[in-house]
Chains A and B, each alone.
Chain A
């Protein structure tokens, strides 16, 4: 109360102390992110212009790593494959997730919504490594799925197209990132004013056209968020391609790891990391730009 009265006399001074107190409080987490993320990322960028000779860096700036990265067919293939797989994972995940988010938002009683959301998030919090490994066990040649289907008598020969290829990577990642896609879409759907849907139907639209002309455009901010939040981390996934991808399912992160930990070529690894990050950012920006008209409007 006192502070408010004082504030009337000197609003600027109050604003100034507010500013200082806020900045003082935020400086700890901000400083941490700068020291542990911004500085290391800058270091990665710097090193990508260096070369390495066993343990020592040659710090003469050069573009050779980048030249090699864009001309070597192996690196190119890995990068394009990562983008392709991440894109496919995103498509599958978001398409599968949308009906769930819609169901929870529109057809679940408000008191039970948080229970549904909790049920969906639980598997996500359990060990990622174990989950990916379980998919390997499920999809394997003598795995759970094949042996199960054979025991029941649906198939005679084990299915071979489901492990050690890009399909397996897509299935596994779509499973792992499900809640990431559901939550933002759910939040966007919850914000939709239900009277708009009634108005649309009162004005003669069918249920289906109401969905496509009212509900979906209003849910687009959530869909865009879901796409970004699935696409960006999946492109750098290491565990899934390594465990279930086989030689044709390996992605750029596997090569980055090999460069850093096996080949002792940190500059090349750094270059690939920079290229991957730049590609992801460009694709993400392009995607946001394409959906600009859905993202404006009243909040």
Chain B
């Protein structure tokens, strides 16, 4: 099975090739993105903090991503807990329906929200972007949290109740510590998704662009491309860092539950 392994490694190279180019050209001393490389420079990175519009968009995006992460993780906890602990009527269709935003084309989510928000007379801004982002992040949070809640041994909670704890203190003292790695993982993933999301933000952001919307506006100007590469390098490095953190959390959660690792997030 050597050929299969070779194919797998070539496939990984194909997957990583575009991202690998980012730092190469972010440090390249030329405005045109092409080989041969001309020289090393950190000029594009030092230019970044001097663009006020960029700084504003970063602040806006961080604000949106933090709120989105908290809200979608809370909704995810409700759904995952309900799915794992209780049987209720129409459980399967309800759970399926909640996961729909995962597969729906984002443009559909974006335009339908736009229409309804404008009809309600709401002004577009960070708040409307958060509404859209929570919608698409919640299914991811549920996917991550589901396995954690499903792996909980019900005997632990029953023991706490038998020993005189209230349902709320049981949840706080027993359940929460056991699922907290998954919760942190869900927070990090939804934060990452919100920070990178473009289409919904593009439609719902109004006059205050998020970072991806600002990036989109810059792609038209060839002279800005090296700066975009530098910014992209920072973004991708940040995302990868967050992901490694999320993955470490997920694994710690599995170890806490005493389970074998069976795969990734989804």
Contacts and interface: CB of A to CB of B under 8 A. Distances in A.
Interface string A112-136: 0110111111110111111101110
Contact count band on B? 35 or more
Nearest to B74: A28
Interface string B154-179: 00001001100000000000000000
Given A29-B75, A121-B266, A125-B239, 4 more contacts: A33-B138, A126-B19, A253-B105, A273-B108
Given A36-B135, A123-B16, A133-B228, A183 B264 contact: yes
B78 A28 contact: yes
B135 A127 contact: no
B199 interface: yes
Interface of A: 1-3, 15, 18-23, 25-26, 28-30, 32-33, 36-37, 39-41, 43-44, 47, 96, 99-100, 102-104, 107, 110, 113-114, 116-123, 125-131, 133-135, 137-138, 140, 142-144, 146-148, 151, 175, 178, 183, 186-187, 190, 228-229, 232-233, 235-239, 243, 253, 256-257, 260-261, 266, 269-270, 273, 276-277, 280
Interface in B71-97: 74-76, 78-79, 81-83, 85-89, 91, 94-95, 97
A127 B103 contact: no
B98 A151 contact: no
A122 B219 contact: no
A103 B111 contact: no
A33 B78 contact: no
Tell me whether chain B's interface is mostly helix, strand or loop, or mixed: helix
Interface string B177-202: 00000000000010011001111000
Tell me whether chain A's interface is mostly helix, strand or loop, or mixed: helix
Interface stretch (B5-13, B40-48, B50-58, B62-70): B5-13
Contacts of B236: 126-127, 130
B78 A47 contact: no
A148 B87 CA distance: 59
B239 A126 contact: yes
